[in-house]
Structure formats: C-alpha cells, structure tokens
Chains A and B, each alone.
Chain A
Amino acid sequence: MPGAFEGETITRRNLVNLWAQGAGGIAAAAFTLPALGFAIAPIFKREPWSWQAIGTPADFPDNVYETKVITITPGIGEAGNSIAYVRARNPAIDTEPEDQYNHWVALSSRCMHLGCPVRYVSAAERFICPCHGGVYDFRGMVVGGPPVRPLDRFYTRLNDGLVEIGPRYSVNKELQRFSPRFPGEPIDGIGQYLYPAQFATSKKP
C-alpha cells in the first residue's frame, strides 16, 4: 500500500483522519439523537384516559341524543374539551352486537371528513357538519358529503349507578371497532392497513 509502512493496510494519515471524523460524528450524534428522540417521543407514548361520569341511566332516552361536554385533554381548559352525543342503546335500530361497553351509544362530535365539530339537528335526526357539508344519520352513519366513515364512538359503562364515558374508538361501515384513527382515514378494506393503529391510542378501553 503506497504511503503505508511495510505490512500495514492503512496509512497513518488515513487512520488519524478516520479517528477525527469518527469523533466528530459521535459528538454530533451525542446531541442530535437525544434531541430527536425527545421531539418524536409523543408518537410512542400511550395517552392515559380516565372514565368520566356523565349522568344517570334515566338521563338518556333511546330516541334522542343528550349533548355532553367531555374532557379529551385535561388541564388545558376549553381547548381540551369536546362534545359527545349520548343516548341509550335501542335494539330496534342498533344492530351491532351488544356488550358491556355499548349499553349507551356515545357518538363523538368530530366529523370524519376533517375533524370539524358536527351538531345534531333533532328535527332532521341528522348530524350535520358546518365546514364541508358532511351529513350523518341517527346512528352516525354517513348519508351525505365527504366523510369517509361513520362518526367515532366512545366506550360507555355503568359504574356506581352512573353512566361513564371512556376512550374513543373508530368504527367502519359495519360498526366494527378499531383503535382511534384520525378523521379522513377510511378503515374499510385496504384503509385499515393504509392507516395503521397508532402507538398513542388503544383499541381497548
């Protein structure tokens, strides 16, 4: 090897060069990697959820929605609140299988187009989004406009005689449960693979 001593495979100049550049790279990584991990950590952090009491079973008829303000993110005032529309399960129209978490149907007001707040218009028995005209029927199924899937729901349960509302879940057109997805993400067919479950949320209550 030219420039190297007899039997050596690398010149001294190249070796010291490697040392210097390696040391520089380690020094740069020493502050870059922790800072990067710090910035992207929220992606991987499972967000806690507490059950919130919203009333007694008698408060919720099965033919009209009650509007309940619930806290999605505690400690930040109004920006952390959202609205859930809650009614008792009505076996005549609710065809999805009953279990311990859906004796009360709690729909999220988050529109499944781009996340604007829908409001329930009782005269039309429709949920209507003010932003881009999404329309949902009494069960939260899409009947018009751009939304890609039915309204998200919340787990509900009876605890100590009070109706409690739990974590959010998303549903597909058959009202099968999925872990929460962002609005605008269809989860029928290939959609559930294009928009995988996130680390920050869980399907299980």
Chain B
Amino acid sequence: MPRIPPPPLPKALQPRPKRPGENGENGATHPLPIEAGISVVDWVDERMQMSSGLRWLLFRKVPRGVNWPYTLGSATLFAFLNQAVTGVFLAMYYRPDVSGGAYESIRNINDNVFLGQLVHAMHKWGASVMIILIFLHMGRVFFYGAYKYPREMTWVIGVVLLILTLAMGFSGYLLPFDQRSYWATVVGVNINAGGPFIGPFLSNFLLGGADFGATTLSRFYAIHMLLIPGLMAALIGAHLYLITKLGIAAPPWIKPHVAEDGDHTLAEAEV
C-alpha cells in the first residue's frame, strides 16, 4: 500500500546532525524518546490528514504592518473560551429554581465551593471583558477598513456574533436571581415588548407566558447555556474559516507593492 509522504518536521523535532567522532550507526539503535512521539503523531496524521489543515490554519502569510490591534479578535475568542469553560463548571452547581433555589445555589458557589467565588467571578467579569473586546475588535476592523471586499461576509457573521454576545449578556444577567437580576430582566423584556407588532409576542416567548412565571428562569438558562453558545460556536468556526481562507487585510497605510512587471500585489512576509 503506498504510503503518503510525511510532512516536513519542524526544526525542533528534526534529528540532530552527527557530531564529529560520533558513531551514527550506534545512535540509531538507541532512538530518542521524542521519536516514539513522532511516530504516534505520524500514525494518527496518516489516517486523519490533519497536519496540512493545521498548517493551513496556523502557518499562513500575514501582511506587512500588522500590529497589536490585530490581536483583538483572538482576545475575544479567548474571552469566549473562558466563558465556555467557566460556564460549564458553574452549571454543575447552578440550579435554575425560581422559588429561591437559584439564588441559594449561587450563594453556595460563592461561599462553599472550592474556588467557586473565583470561577463565578471569572464568568461574571469575563462577560464584561468579552463585550469590551468584541467592540474594540469591531472598531479595529471598521477603522482599518478590513470589512471591505472580499471580507463582507466575515463582517456580517461578526455582527451576528456581536448580537449573540449581547443576548448572552442579557440572558445570563437573570441567572443569579437576586433583586438586580430580576428587575433588570423585567425592564429588558419590557423594552423588547416595545417593538411594534411582534414585540409583545417575542416577550411572551421570552417569559414563557404573559408574566414572569415558573418557567421563565429555566427558559433563560436554556437559551444562555445551550441555544446561543451552540450558534456562537458554529458562527465562530465560519468566522475563522473565512479569516484563514481570505487572509488578513493589510493596514490601510500599507501601500500596494508594485513589482517591476507592473503587477500590483500587497507586500507579504512570512511571520
């Protein structure tokens, strides 16, 4: 069976050249532990063909002149991952019980669970950090003109992600179920009801009825931890695919490089 040629190894993993006086034949009989690792990776990669995709994703050309604001998108991604990880573990202790159990479970997380206060605070403050980062990222893309052709769909998906992030903030605000949560949600749902024609019905959908009721909290909980995160994960995947496929837009002050044959291309450098 023909074997697919292995991808070139990174420099750090390539075998060291023989030192003068070293007997090469003897060295091969004592393989380094790292080579066992390589052969496992080889075995998996021969079957999954992941390395070319990973190289496509990670080792791509980026334009000259990229700077710190270009990292805001990654920063937002990591804020999302922080929310996902801390949220999953908070869900192990949280109870969406509208008659007092929800508040009691949050109090338990804060007071009794080991590192509970820290993980809860990471989720709470991380939410604000994510909102700030996503707006800064949007501002960077806007002011650098990076939303222009051919990257319009990346922008559109990003705007949907922004809206979903705000919806996450809204639905998550109710979950601690203290006075502030309750009244902020009442006000938020009523603002939503101010939309003509469909606003009242949308609010009925959010509340699960005409008034704040027995299932409102569990609806918000399900929306917060299942519905929107799933949508966001899918859209983040599409966003990253487009970024990789289309490449990063150069900063607006980088002029197109004119080659001697008159071909206009952006100067690119491998980073």
Residues of A within 8 A of B (CB): 39-40, 42-43, 45, 47, 72-73, 75-80, 114-117, 131, 180-185, 194-196, 198-201
**Complex Cα–Cα for A77 and B98 (A):** 8
28 sampled A-B residue pairs with Cβ under 8 A: A42-B204, A42-B208, A42-B209, A42-B215, A43-B204, A47-B211, A73-B214, A75-B214, A80-B214, A114-B190, A115-B187, A115-B190, A116-B183, A181-B200, A182-B189, A182-B193, A184-B191, A184-B193, A185-B193, A185-B199, A195-B196, A196-B197, A196-B200, A198-B201, A198-B204, A198-B210, A200-B210, A201-B210
Q: Does B213 contact A (CB under 8 A)?
A: yes
Partner of A43, one of B187, B194, B205: B205
**Complex Cα–Cα for A115 and B188 (A):** 9
**Complex Cα–Cα for A88 and B204 (A):** 33
Query: Shortest distance in angstroms between A185's beta carbon and chain B's nearest beta carbon?
Result: 6
Q: Are B209 and A200 in contact (CB under 8 A)?
A: yes
Which of chain B's residues 172-231 have a Cβ closer than 8 Å to chain A? 177, 182-183, 186-187, 189-191, 193-194, 196-197, 199-201, 203-205, 207-215
Q: Does B100 contact A (CB under 8 A)?
A: yes
* A residues less than 8 Å from B208 (CB atoms): 42
**Complex Cα–Cα for A17 and B215 (A):** 43
Query: Shortest distance in angstroms between A183's beta carbon and chain B's nearest beta carbon?
Result: 5
**Complex Cα–Cα for A92 and B112 (A):** 60
Q: Does B99 contact A (CB under 8 A)?
A: yes
Q: Are A182 and B200 in contact (CB under 8 A)?
A: yes
Query: Shortest distance in angstroms between A170's beta carbon and chain B's nearest beta carbon?
Result: 11
Q: Closest residue of chain B to A79, judged by CB? A: B98
Query: Shortest distance in angstroms between A51's beta carbon and chain B's nearest beta carbon?
Result: 17
Given A43-B205, A114-B191; A73-B212 close (CB under 8 Å): yes
Partner of A184, one of B190, B205, B212: B190
Main secondary structure of the interface of A (DSSP, over half): loop
Partner of B214, one of A76, A195, A201: A76
Q: How many A-B residue pairs have CB under 8 A?
A: 91
Partner of B213, one of A73, A77, A116, A194: A73
Q: Are A116 and B187 in contact (CB under 8 A)?
A: yes
* B residues less than 8 Å from A180 (CB atoms): 210
Query: Shortest distance in angstroms between A130's beta carbon and chain B's nearest beta carbon?
Result: 10
Q: Are A42 and B205 in contact (CB under 8 A)?
A: yes
**Complex Cα–Cα for A79 and B220 (A):** 15
**Complex Cα–Cα for A42 and B199 (A):** 15
Partner of A185, one of B99, B194, B210: B194
Q: Closest residue of chain B to A40, judged by CB? A: B205
Q: Are A76 and B210 in contact (CB under 8 A)?
A: no
Q: Closest residue of chain A to B101, judged by CB? A: A77
* B residues less than 8 Å from A40 (CB atoms): 205
Q: Closest residue of chain B to A190, judged by CB? A: B196
**Complex Cα–Cα for A99 and B191 (A):** 34
Partner of B200, one of A76, A77, A115, A195: A195
Q: Closest residue of chain A to B191, judged by CB? A: A114
Interface centre among B177, B194, B207, by most chain A C-beta atoms within 10 angstroms, is B194
Q: Closest residue of chain B to A180, judged by CB? A: B210
Q: Are A47 and B209 in contact (CB under 8 A)?
A: yes
* B residues less than 8 Å from A75 (CB atoms): 99, 214
Q: Are A200 and B204 in contact (CB under 8 A)?
A: yes
Given A77-B100, A79-B98; A194-B196 close (CB under 8 Å): yes
Query: Shortest distance in angstroms between B136's beta carbon and chain A's nearest beta carbon?
Result: 29
**Complex Cα–Cα for A77 and B103 (A):** 13
**Complex Cα–Cα for A173 and B194 (A):** 18
Interface centre among A114, A182, A183, A199, by most chain B C-beta atoms within 10 angstroms, is A182
**Complex Cα–Cα for A73 and B98 (A):** 11
Interface centre among A45, A131, A185, by most chain B C-beta atoms within 10 angstroms, is A185
**Complex Cα–Cα for A28 and B125 (A):** 39
Interface centre among A73, A80, A116, A131, by most chain B C-beta atoms within 10 angstroms, is A73
Q: Are B194 and A76 in contact (CB under 8 A)?
A: no
**Complex Cα–Cα for A117 and B213 (A):** 17
Q: Are A194 and B197 in contact (CB under 8 A)?
A: yes
Partner of A183, one of B193, B201, B212, B213: B193
